[in-house]
Amino acid sequence: MVDNSCERVDDGAENGMDDEQPVDLGVALFIPYRHMEDRIFRALQDAGFDDWTLAQVRVFQRLAPHGSRLTDLAEQAQMSKQSAGVLVDQLERLGYVRRVADPADGRARLIVFEERGQRAAKVAMATSAKILAEWKAYLGTRNFTLLQQILDQLREITDPYAYKP
């Protein structure tokens, strides 16, 4: 007698999902993020922005349009102020950002985009829009919109930096 209890039963599951070994939800959320991050980083390199590291880009991507304080960047990147400072120093030497006086507090400094950083940000945003359009085409408008709504809702309880009216 042969024991077939471990044999996979074709239950109609699509897209290669195996009910016996489902992907952890946290990993399932991380995989598309990493895919997007990798594609944007490659697009930046292909556009000539090939002199920075992924760690530097991860700090750069958190820069607010009108500038950010170092403490805010460090907190959002979940690193020490010293580590963020080193990365910002490097980004500054590479010409992506510069430090300016904070008009709201003369003692503080803001990190703002340099012209080169603005060009890189445009490449990143265009690549992000392309990826999202691909995902929307793959999932369909209804599912894509639903995914966005669910993730926005989840962000309300998981993102301390989310805008809360």
Over pLDDT 90: what percentage of the chain?
Answer: 75
pLDDT score of 165: 59
Please name the residues in contact with 145: beta carbons below 8 A apart, sequence gap of 6 or more: none
- Helix/strand/coil for 129: helix
Task: For the chain, list the domains and their CATH numbers.
Answer: 50-113 (1.10.10.10), 115-158 (no CATH)
pLDDT of residue 129 exceeding 60, the answer is yes
pLDDT score of 5: 39
Rounded distance, CA 127 to CA 73, Å?
23
| pLDDT tens profile 46-70 | 999 999 999 999 999 999 999 999 9
Written as six digits, the tokens of 40 are: 């944007």
For residue 113, what are the β-bridge partners? Answer: 97
CB 68 within 8 A of CB 111: yes
* pTM (2 d.p.): 0.79
